Chains A and B, each alone.
Chain A
Amino acid sequence: GQNIDQPTEMTATEGAIVQINCTYQTSGFNGLFWYQQHAGEAPTFLSYNVLDGLEEKGRFSSFLSRSKGYSYLLLKELQMKDSASYLCAVDTGGFKTIFGAGTRLFVKA
């Protein structure tokens, strides 16, 4: 079966660092995406990891360990506008990308 697990909710303080974890068990794996989705809006692409290791893009970084079926999204210097849901998604091959239920992040002042 296909399973992607993320925490349901997280709360962090403005200016801090937060790490959102994602574990997956899928029948195939080509790569892992992270998307940001504000309430009622479309998801927007953040990152794509194919190989193990850390990819940094400004305040956001994403890490992948294929052997452990694990990824995390690291957000630094948190801002209020980072309050959103963060979706972990696996490209399982066969033209299917499966999404996790998302982690709702609340950033407080």
Chain B
Amino acid sequence: DSGVTQTPKHLITATGQRVTLRCSPRSGDLSVYWYQQSLDQGLQFLIQYYNGEERAKGNILERFSAQQFPDLHSELNLSSLELGDSALYFCASSPPDGDRGYTFGSGTRLTVV
């Protein structure tokens, strides 16, 4: 157990639907990052939050949104889902000093049918 909790582990849904992925960071970490990993592809950075505030944005689609709550857990909302959104979605957290890298959760495998 890495200390970063992601739910659900698996999600199967139909095109056009909306889903919410949840992440609780490791205790003491203020930063939360969301990444998308499609089959045989690298991790694509989506968005980062620090202590409730959005800090950085990657190539996140307008159909996707995220937020970090006062208790530091984060949610990634994916709407108007398309087949191409099928992927592993990872959440990671990090402490204020970044030289220990990110701690990743076990991911949510999203399948859009």
Contacts and interface: CB of A to CB of B under 8 A. Distances in A.
Interface in B21-63: 31, 33, 35, 41-45, 48, 50, 55-56, 58
B62 to A, nearest CB: 19
Interface string B61-84: 000000000000000000000000
Contacts of B2: 42, 44
Contacts of B101: 33, 35, 45, 48
B42 A43 contact: no
A14 interface: no
Nearest to B4: A42
Contacts of A101: 41-42
Nearest to A30: B98
A96 B42 contact: no
Contacts of A95: 31, 48, 50, 55-56
Interface in A19-44: 30-31, 33, 35, 40-44
B13 interface: no
Contacts of A42: 2, 90, 104-107
Nearest to B57: A96
B45 A97 contact: yes
A45 B45 contact: no
B99 A31 contact: yes
B104 A43 contact: yes
A30 to B, nearest CB: 8
Contacts of B56: 94-96
Interface of A: 30-31, 33, 35, 40-45, 48, 50, 87, 89, 91, 94-102
